[in-house]
Chain A
Amino acid sequence: MPRNLVADQGRRSVLSTKLPQRGAILILGVLAALVPHMTGNEYYLSVAYQAEVLICLAIGLNLVVGYCGLLDLGFAAFFAIGAYTTGLLSVDRHWTILATILPGVAIAVVCAVIIGLPTLRLRSDYLAVVTLGFGLIIQTIASNLTQTGGPTGIYGIPVLTVGSIVIQSATSFYYLFLILLVVFVFISFRVRNSRIGRAWLCIREDEDAAQAMGIKIHRYKMYAYMGGAVMGSVTGALYAPALTAISPPSFGFSESLLILMAVAIGGMGSVWGAVLGGAIVVILPEAFRQFSQARLLIFGAMLIIIMMTRPRGLFPEGAFRGTVKRLRERFNDRPPPRTLVAPPEAAVRDAPSEGP
Chain B
Amino acid sequence: MELFLTEIANGLFLGAFFALVAVGYSMVYGILRLINFAHGDFFMVAAFVSYTILGAVAVGHAHLVWFTVIWVGLLVMFLTGLLAVLANRLIYHPMRRAALLSLMIAALGLSSVLENGVLNIPSWGSAFLTYPVTSPSNGFTIGPTHFTWFQLIIVVISGLLSLGVYLLVSRTLLGKAMRAVSEDRVAAALMGINVDLVIAVVFFIGGALAGAAAVMTGVYYGQINYLMGWTVGLEAFTAAVLGGIGNIGGAVLGGVVLGIAQSVGTGLFGAEWALVVTFVVLVLLLWLRPTGILGERVARRM
Q: Which residue numbers of A lie inside 8 Å of B, CB to CB?
A: 65, 69, 71, 115, 117-119, 121-126, 128-130, 132-134, 136-137, 140-141, 143-144, 207, 257, 260-261, 264, 268, 293-297, 299-304, 307-308, 311-312
Besides A125-B29, A300-B113, 4 other CB < 8 A contacts?
Answer: A115-B283, A133-B275, A207-B302, A300-B112
B279 contacts A311, C-beta separation under 8 Å: no
Question: A303, B108: Cβ atoms under 8 Å?
Answer: yes
Compute how far the CA of A115 lies from the CA of B33 in the bound complex, rounded to whole angstroms: 22
Which residues of chain B come closer than 8 Å to A311, judged between CB atoms?
Answer: 95, 98-99, 102
Q: Is the pair A296, B116 in contact by a Cβ cutoff of 8 Å?
A: yes
For B105, give its contact among A69, A133, A141, A264 (CB under 8 Å).
Answer: A264
Contact: B241 with A65, CB < 8 Å? Answer: no
- The residue of chain A having its C-beta at the shortest distance from the C-beta of B112 within the complex is A300
Q: How many residues on chain B are close to A (CB under 8 Å)?
A: 45
A297: chain B residues within 8 A (beta carbon) = 112-113, 116-117, 119-120
Given contacts A125-B33, A294-B116, contact A130 B279 (CB under 8 A): yes
Partner of A125, one of B35, B108, B276, B280: B35
Query: Are the CB atoms of A140 and B272 closer together than 8 Å?
Result: yes
Q: Which 4 A-B pairs have CB atoms at the shortest separation, nearest pair first? A: A300-B112, A133-B279, A303-B109, A311-B98
* A260 vs B100: C-alpha distance when bound (angstroms): 15
Instruction: Decide if A129 touches B106 in the complex (CB within 8 Å).
Output: no
B104 at the interface (CB under 8 A from A): yes
CA distance A264 to B109 in the complex (A): 11
| Of B117, B272, B278, B283, most A-chain CB atoms within 10 Å | B283
Q: Return chain A residues, CB-CB under 8 Å to B275.
A: 133, 136-137, 140
Q: Closest chain B residue to A303 by CB distance?
A: B109
How far apart are A248's CB and chain B's nearest CB, in angstroms? 11
Report A108 CB to chain B, min CB distance, Å.
Answer: 17
A118 to B282 alpha-carbon distance, docked (Å): 11
Of A121, A308, A312, most buried by chain B (CB within 10 Å of CB) is A308
Query: In the complex the two chains form, what is the Cα distance from A219 to B35 in whole Å?
Result: 25
Partner of B283, one of A118, A264, A293, A304: A118
Chain B, Cβ-Cβ closest to A117? B287
Q: Are B95 and A128 in contact (CB under 8 A)?
A: no
- Chain A nearest CB, measured from B254 CB (Å): 13
CB neighbours of A137 from chain B (8 A): 275-276, 279-280
- Residues of B within 8 Å of A144, CB to CB, are 272-273
In the complex, which residues of chain B have a beta carbon less than 8 angstroms from the beta carbon of A121?
Answer: 290
**Are B286 and A308 in touch, CB under 8 angstroms?**
no
Known: A134-B279, A144-B272, A144-B273. A128 touches B106 (CB 8 A): no
> Is the CB of B263 closer than 8 A to any CB of chain A?
no
Residues of B within 8 A of A207 (CB): 300, 302
A-B pairs with beta carbons under 8 Å apart, 20 shown:
A69-B101, A121-B290, A123-B302, A130-B279, A133-B283, A136-B234, A137-B275, A140-B273, A260-B105, A260-B108, A296-B115, A297-B116, A299-B109, A301-B113, A302-B109, A303-B109, A303-B112, A304-B113, A308-B94, A308-B98
Docked CA distance A82–B45 (Å): 37
Q: Known interface pairs A122-B286, A133-B278, A300-B113. Does A308 touch B91 (Cβ–Cβ under 8 Å)?
A: yes
Measured between beta carbons, the chain B residues less than 8 angstroms from A293 are 116, 119-120
CB distance from A16 to the nearest CB of B (A): 34
Q: For window 49-92 of chain B, which residues contact chain A by CB distance below 8 Å?
A: 91
B238 close to A (CB within 8 Å): yes
Which label, helix, strand, loop or mixed, suits the secondary structure of the B interface?
helix
Q: Are A123 and B300 in contact (CB under 8 A)?
A: yes
- The 8 Å CB contact of B241, one of A126, A134, A264, A312, is A126
Which A residues are in CB contact (< 8 Å) with B14? none
Interchain CA distance A300-B35 in the complex, whole Å: 17
Beta-carbon nearest neighbor of A138 in chain B: B276
A118 touches B109 (CB 8 A): no
Q: Does B256 contact A (CB under 8 A)?
A: no
How near does chain A come to B28, taking the closest CB pair, in angstroms? 12
Query: What's the Cα separation between A296 and B298 when bound, in Å?
Result: 34
Does B131 count as interface, using CB distance less than 8 angstroms?
A: no
Point out the residues of chain B lying under 8 angstroms from A132, CB to CB: 234
B282 & A301 in contact (Cβ 8 Å cutoff): no
Contact partner of B237 (CB less than 8 A), chosen from A71, A129, A296, is: A129
Q: Are B113 and A71 in touch, CB under 8 angstroms? A: no
Cβ A296 vs Cβ B112 within 8 A: yes
Contact B279 A301 (CB under 8 A): no
CA A118 to CA B241, docked complex, whole Å? 14
Bound-state CA distance A71–B35 (Å) is: 11
B110 close to chain A: CB less than 8 A = yes
The answer on a CB contact under 8 Å between B272 and A307 is no
Q: Nearest Cβ distance between residue A144 and chain B, in whole angstroms? A: 5
B26 in the interface, Cβ–Cβ < 8 Å?
A: no
Indicate if the CB atoms of B112 and A299 lie closer than 8 Å. Answer: yes
The smallest beta-carbon distance between B74 and chain A, in angstroms, is 30
Chain B positions within 8 Å of A307 at CB level: 95, 98, 102-103, 105-106, 109
Give the residues in chain B near A260, CB-CB below 8 Å: 105, 108
**B122 CB to closest chain A CB, in angstroms?**
11
Are B113 and A118 neighbours in the complex by a CB distance under 8 Å? Answer: no
Least Cβ–Cβ distance between A57 and chain B, in angstroms: 16
Cα–Cα, bound, A143→B33 (Å): 34
Closest to A122 in B: B290
Given contacts A130-B279, A133-B238, A140-B272, contact A304 B286 (CB under 8 A): no
Expressed in whole angstroms, the Cα–Cα distance for A117 and B119 within the complex equals: 38
* A257 touches which of B112, B276, B280, B300 (Cβ 8 Å): B112
Residues of B within 8 A of A302 (CB): 109
Q: Are A303 and B106 in contact (CB under 8 A)?
A: yes
Chain B 233-276, CB within 8 Å of chain A: the 1/0 string? 01001100100000000000000000000000000000011011
